[in-house]
Every structure is written in structure tokens, then in C-alpha cells.
């Protein structure tokens, strides 16, 4: 094992002890360290960082900037103990705005995604992907939260999911509708029939019986998107798994506005359900759709419009 690989282990351990998950960052940095090892390098240089971040040639500039940002954090850590470490400047690979435009799914589009999952040849893969897509759509869970669920975290009798050690180290309980609990029970039964001896306690499993990984689910989801005939609405608005969560939040807010509810009073409930640290984080969903903005503006006009 190289010195850089040892240093990466220390860096990830320290950051994770502070509450950061670093799932994707950990995978990317492992690839970067391998890139350095193949080059025979024992320390991080700007040249190595840029050459790795810009792979493959002609790739997306924003993605290259994100990759370099991940290396920059690692390099700043290394520089404290190794003065030879070069820290890439923050503006070396400007990538513009990284925030994608949310792809708000319709009921029909989600039904098509789930139908595409059911059509897969593997019974286990079909059941896992169909159930996962449906759960994300109706619960607003983060993808990582759903994938980290263990069997003991899914209380089917009470329709309760226990999300443990999520973003910023927060845990919470998520209530689901009886129909959702029934769908989860159906999946569990089918999963145990097809894979009676899994490796570990994960609720959602892969074909090998291990916990389903995020990158594998993301790749499979893109396949479902193609089969369902979903297409990007713009270069920055493409169907992503995370947008199922975004769609859940927008549907909830729209429903409250339409029924004339006190959204301000209910927003902390939605924030807690979604696992947000502050209600202000949930307010960002207001910008996701013109209809939400219009309803919010109408509410403000009704409240303040008659004042001089």
C-alpha cells in the first residue's frame, strides 16, 4: 500500500468522524490515488490532479471541476503534513453552476419507470428496482438513505422506516402509507424467495445478495429512463434518481397551497420528514416550478395586497 493510499484512509476517517459521508468522494479519491500510483508519484501535484480530473478527454467541464474540487480537499489535508503537496487553485477549472434544474416527474412517468423495471429479465433485479423507484417517489427519501436500510429498519407492521445516521449524522423515523408498507412486504417476500441466503442485513440487495450500491442503482436507473422513453427537458434538466425526492417535496407543497393550508406552519413538518437541518433548506423547492412560485405569490398578494 502506498503512502498516498494510507493518507487517504486517514483523511476519510477524519472527515467521516466529523459527520461527512463522502461516499462518492471516497470512490473518486481512490481512483485518483490509483492514477498517482500508476504515474509513480508519491505526492499530489497540480499536473496530476488536472490530468485525472479532466478524464475522459472531452468530458463535461462541470464534472471535471467537481472532480478537481474533491482532489483539492484531499490536497489541502496532505499539505499540512507534506510541504511538497501542491493544492490546485479553486478557480483552475471553472465549471459554472453545478446545480441541475430539477426534473419533476409526473405520475405517468414514474409508472413507466416502474413498468420498465418489471420488464427486466432477472426477477430479483426487477423487484428491487421497481420497489426502490416507487419508495423514492412516495417517501421523499434520499437514494442513499433507502439503500442503507437494513431489514430491522423496515417495520412493516407499523409502516415505519428508521433512517439511521443520514446527512450530518441525523437519524429519523419516516412513516409510510399502508399501501407502501404492503409493497415493501411484497418485495421482501419475493427477495427472500429468489435469494434466501443474502450476504448481510440489507433490505435492498443486488444480484449477488449484497447491499445494492448507489453507483449500480444510478446506472440501472438510467437504463430504466431509456426504456421508459424519458428525455431531457434541457441540457441541465435530465431525469435523475434524486429528482424523485424533489418531486415528492414539490407535490406536497403544491397540495398544501391548493387546499389553502398554512404552508409556513406546516413547513417544519416537511423539513423534519425530509431530514433537512433547517426549514430554509426546504424553501428551496419553491423555486423548482413556476406553479409553486405562482401560488406563493398569490398567497402573498392576498395577505398584503390591500395594505397601503
Domain ranges of the chain: 3-79, 108-228, 242-304
SS3 state at 155: strand
Looking at the annotation, which residues are catalytic? Answer: 142, 167, 242, 245, 276, 285
Q: What is the pLDDT of residue 96?
A: 53
Whether 183 contacts 136, CB under 8 Å? no
SS3 state at 57: coil
Q: What is the pLDDT of residue 163?
A: 94
Q: What is the pLDDT of residue 290?
A: 61
CB under 8 Å to 254, separation ≥6 — which residues? 289, 291, 292, 295
* φ/ψ of residue 191, rounded to 5: -60, -45
Alpha helix stretches (DSSP H) within the chain: 3-17, 23-38, 46-53, 61-79, 107-118, 123-139, 143-147, 178-194, 214-228, 242-258, 263-274, 279-283, 290-304
In the chain (308 residues long), the average pLDDT of successive 10-residue segments reads: 86 84 90 95 95 88 90 94 93 71 93 98 97 97 95 96 81 94 98 95 97 95 97 91 92 85 82 78 63 58 51
**Domain covering 108-228 assigned CATH 3.30.70.20 in the classification:** no
CB under 8 Å to 21, separation ≥6 — which residues? 144, 167
Q: What is the pLDDT of residue 105?
A: 95
Q: What is the pLDDT of residue 22?
A: 86
Q: Which residues pair with 155 in a beta bridge?
A: 160
Q: What is the pLDDT of residue 288?
A: 55
Amino acid at each position: 500500500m502506498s503512502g498516498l493510499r494510507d493518507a487517504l484512509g486517514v483523511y476519510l476517517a477524519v472527515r467521516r468522524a466529523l459527520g461527512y459521508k463522502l461516499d462518492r468522494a471516497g470512490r473518486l479519491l481512490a481512483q485518483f490515488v490509483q492514477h498517482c500510483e500508476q504515474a509513480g508519484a508519491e505526492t499530489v501535484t497540480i499536473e496530476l490532479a488536472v490530468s485525472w480530473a479532466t478524464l475522459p478527454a472531452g468530458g463535461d467541464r462541470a464534472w471535471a471541476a467537481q472532480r478537481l474540487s474533491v482532489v483539492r480537499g484531499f490536497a489541502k489535508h496532505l499539505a499540512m503534513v507534506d510541504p511538497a503537496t501542491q493544492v490546485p487553485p479553486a478557480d483552475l477549472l471553472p465549471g459554472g453552476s453545478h446545480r441541475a434544474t430539477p426534473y419533476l416527474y409526473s405520475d405517468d412517468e414514474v409508472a413507466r419507470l416502474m413498468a420498465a423495471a418489471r420488464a427486466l429479465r432477472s426477477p430479483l433485479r426487477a423487484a428491487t428496482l421497481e420497489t426502490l423507484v416507487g419508495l423514492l417517489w412516495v417517501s421523499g427519501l434520499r437514494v442513499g438513505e433507502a439503500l442503507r436500510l437494513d431489514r430491522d429498519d423496515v417495520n412493516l407492521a407499523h409502516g415505519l422506516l428508521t433512517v439511521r445516521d443520514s446527512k450530518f449524522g441525523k437519524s429519523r423515523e419516516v412513516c409510510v402509507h399502508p399501501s407502501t408498507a404492503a409493497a415493501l412486504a411484497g418485495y421482501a417476500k419475493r427477495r427472500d424467495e429468489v435469494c434466501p441466503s443474502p450476504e448481510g442485513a440489507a433490505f435492498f440487495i443486488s444480484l449477488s445478495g449484497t447491499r445494492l450500491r448507489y453507483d449500480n442503482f444510478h446506472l440501472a436507473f438510467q437504463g430504466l429512463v431509456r426504456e421508459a422513453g424519458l428525455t431531457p427537458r434541457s441540457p441541465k434538466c435530465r431525469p435523475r434518481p434524486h429528482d424523485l425526492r424533489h418531486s415528492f417535496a414539490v407535490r406536497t407543497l403544491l397540495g398544501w397551497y391548493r387546499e389553502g393550508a398554512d404552508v409556513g406552519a406546516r413547513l417544519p413538518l416537511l423539513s423534519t420528514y425530509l431530514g433537512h437541518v433547517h426549514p430554509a433548506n426546504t424553501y428551496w423547492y419553491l423555486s423548482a416550478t413556476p406553479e409553486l412560485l405562482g401560488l406563493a405569490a398569490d398567497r402573498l398578494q392576498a395577505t398584503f395586497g390591500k395594505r397601503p
